[in-house]
A and B are shown apart, each in its own frame.
Chain A
């Protein structure tokens, strides 16, 4: 049973435009949500997180939105830059502190 789903395996966005990466979850027992970015041959790098009691968190070009009623979160990157091309993982922390990751979305930023 996949508790954290990233339904788009890949996404292509023009440089300078907004990239929107989506994530759905099924378990209401998650209390924190996190986004990680991964380049080939490197480990994931933490980007931004949001508590389940909030609906938005912003850090520079990155904003995460949480819609609890829809069990949906999204990561917005504005403006998209070439260095943003990577695989993005959505993760959720359960109240027993286990972390569940989605399968990732590969973002391609087009020149």
Chain B
């Protein structure tokens, strides 16, 4: 099976712009989660989508949003980019909702740089 794919892998934007990142989960996986990784804060949970519905959300401002399509592919959008949004954005998929010991499979990430 192909793994989780994320596009693009690298992105450079300027402050004030908006960006859309894409994630294709492992075939058959219905849950997609997004994380932000920065050197200072480590990995922080952004949101989880399951069956096109946002199931859970982390503590990020409303500039961060996402959606999931009927084929389980997901996109996240960041509007009005700030310098502090520079980070590695990771997508993870799992077969079902994130409960108990169910594990996630991560993609390689999208490295976003905001100038």
User: Is the pairing of A and B real?
Assistant: yes
Count of A interface residues, CB-CB < 8 Å:
24
Interface SS majority for chain A: strand
- In the complex, the answer to whether B108 meets A43 with C-beta atoms within 8 Å is yes
* A49 closest partner in B (C-beta): B101
Looking at the assembled complex, report how far the CB atom of B97 sits from the nearest CB atom of chain A, in whole angstroms: 7
A interface residues (Cβ-Cβ under 8 A, vs B): 31-32, 34, 36, 41-46, 49, 51, 89, 91, 93, 96-104
> Which of B13-21, B40-48, B77-85 is found at the contact surface with chain A?
B40-48
- What are 25 contact pairs spanning A and B, CB under 8 A? A31-B100, A32-B100, A34-B101, A41-B108, A42-B108, A43-B90, A43-B106, A43-B108, A44-B43, A44-B90, A46-B105, A49-B103, A51-B101, A97-B55, A97-B97, A98-B45, A98-B56, A98-B58, A99-B33, A99-B45, A99-B98, A101-B45, A103-B41, A104-B42, A104-B43
Q: Which residues of B contact A97 (CB under 8 A)?
A: 48, 55-56, 97-99
- In the complex, the answer to whether B103 meets A46 with C-beta atoms within 8 Å is yes
Cα-based distance from A100 to B44 in the complex (angstroms) = 7
**Can you list, as one digit per residue, whether each of B63-99 has a CB less than 8 Å from chain A (1) or not (0)?**
0000000000000000000000000001010000111
Cα-based distance from A42 to B107 in the complex (angstroms) = 7
* A41 closest partner in B (C-beta): B108
Cα-based distance from A93 to B55 in the complex (angstroms) = 14
